[in-house]
Amino acid sequence: MEHKNKFKKVKACPANPLWSKFIERENKIYSRPNDIRSEFARDYTRILHSNGYRRLKTKTQVFFATKNDHICTRIEHVNHVVSVSTTIAKFLGLNEELVSAIAIGHDIGHAPFGHHGETVIREIFKREIPNSNFWHEKNSLFFLDDIETLKNSSGFEENMNLSYAVRDGIITHCGEVNENSIFPRKEYIDLNKIEKPNQHQSFTWEGCVVKISDKIAYLGRDIEDAMFFRILSYSNYRQINEILKRHLPKSNIREINNGVLIHSFIIDLINNSNPERGISLSQPYLNLMNDIKSFNYSVIYKYWRIESFKNYATLVINEIFKTLIHFYKYKNFNSTDISIIEDFPTLRRYFNDWLIKYSNIDLKKKKKLKLNNRTIYDINSKESYIKCCLDFIAGMTDSFAIKVYEEIISF
């Protein structure tokens, strides 16, 4: 194994000439005389205590709305990415606290029903608001910038106000491309102007590590869940073993499982990465990763029961959206007008709270409730209201979306 701390001279730390940009925040963050945390450790705990992080425990990773306690949900995946990326960062000499903060927040913006829910919401956005777009990396940044709040020492809800390096690593974490030798970009940019996934690389080496760790973390775990549900046939097991033998003929690995894959990819990555070569795997391991990913897509992610559930998920999201748009017939409605929709008590309650917190529907009540977060929706604009509805849906868990849908269709 090659020497440790190969990236120590380029890590995100006060000695780095870009440090002031890395820790930049929109507003000066409060300080305590006895606080022992770094800037990035504070960001980590701010995300950890957010509602968005809590909701990940009932959001889809691969298998929709699972009721089995042993099947991976989005929160387990996020924690795996934290583990993988901090292990890599520690050995390479990078900033572990920055890596942890990026990793724990990277999937906050996932819609209910995973990537399929993301696709459905994106289609509605494009249909209703021309030239708009929706993807989970951008939505993660949006939720952490504008939706997620924490109470300050006076009990007022305020926006998260995360550092630039954490926000940057989150919106640039897209790992769905087969690239190797990842280098950070050199220019400081306005993150809100990013228009599509993978448009830019991360601004830090730590962000690059999270990007590759995202893929390392899910490949083997998804196979284990498929094994648990007995989705894989004997021929599928042979396929997996053939992939392994084809790319690593001299390896001591006898079976592909999550622990073995994670360890093997981490060791290969730290041996092959350096500031001159970038964050990279060896060619055999890159080929192995890509072939396992292709196997998962063809055998697991396209499994007929998952495909069947996609039809249901599409119906759920569209019906909730249609119902919320129906509310808009009360053109100049306020919070009391929303309360007349007696048929949907759950939807009414939570959507009413959402409107008060994030829109201009009732600013006096917002102030009374000590909500100091940004107002981002203009209720007098139909387009703004549509975005308000879709963002509300995007924040839902699988189970809550199903609960609301069943409420809508019940008489």
Q: What is the pLDDT along the chain (411 residues), one digit of tens a residue?
A: 557 899 999 999 999 999 999 999 998 887 777 788 889 999 999 999 999 999 999 999 999 888 889 999 999 999 999 999 999 999 999 999 999 999 999 999 999 999 999 999 999 999 999 989 999 999 999 999 999 999 988 899 999 999 999 999 999 998 655 667 899 999 999 999 999 998 999 999 999 999 999 999 998 899 999 989 999 998 998 898 889 889 888 777 667 778 888 999 999 999 999 999 999 999 999 999 999 999 999 999 999 999 999 999 999 999 999 999 987 765 555 544 555 456 789 998 999 999 999 999 999 999 999 999 999 999 989 999 999 999 999 999 999 999 999 999 998
Token code pair at residue 216: 């390392």
User: What pLDDT sits at residue 2?
Assistant: 57
Angle at 222 between CA 315 and CA 205, to 5 degrees: 105
Q: How far is CA 79 from CA 100, 206, 214, 217, 292, in A?
A: 9, 16, 10, 9, 21
What pLDDT does residue 178 have? 61
Side chain identity at 289, as an amino acid letter?
Answer: M
Distance of alpha carbon 290 from alpha carbon 178, whole angstroms: 7
Beta bridge partners of 274: 278
User: Is 299 within 8 Å of 236 (Cβ atoms)?
Assistant: yes
Closest Cα to residue 216, out of 263, 272, 153?
263
Tokens representing residue 170 in the block: 């989150």
* CB contact set of 269 (below 8 Å; sequence gap of 6+): 88, 212, 216, 279, 280, 281, 285
Backbone angles phi, psi at 150, to 5 degrees: -135, 150
User: Tokens 């995202």 label which residue?
Assistant: 214
**Confidence (pLDDT) at 177:** 53
Neighbours of 105 (CB within 10 A): 32
What pTM value is reported for the model? Answer: 0.94
Within the chain, all domains assigned CATH 1.10.3210.10 are found at 21-29+36-108+148-301
CA angle 124/127/133 to nearest 5° reads 70
How far CA 305 is from CA of 92, 113, 143, in Å, comes to: 42, 14, 31
Per-residue pLDDT at 79: 97
Looking at this protein, which amino acid is placed at residue 64?
Answer: F
Cα(86)–Cα(92) distance, integer angstroms:
10
Alpha-carbon distance 194 to 172, whole Å? 9
3-class SS of residue 46 = helix
Contact 269, 212 (CB under 8 A): yes
**Residue found by looking up tokens 């390896």 in the block:** 251
CATH class label, 21-29+36-108+148-301: mainly alpha
User: Which pLDDT value is given to residue 375?
Assistant: 97
pLDDT at 335: 46
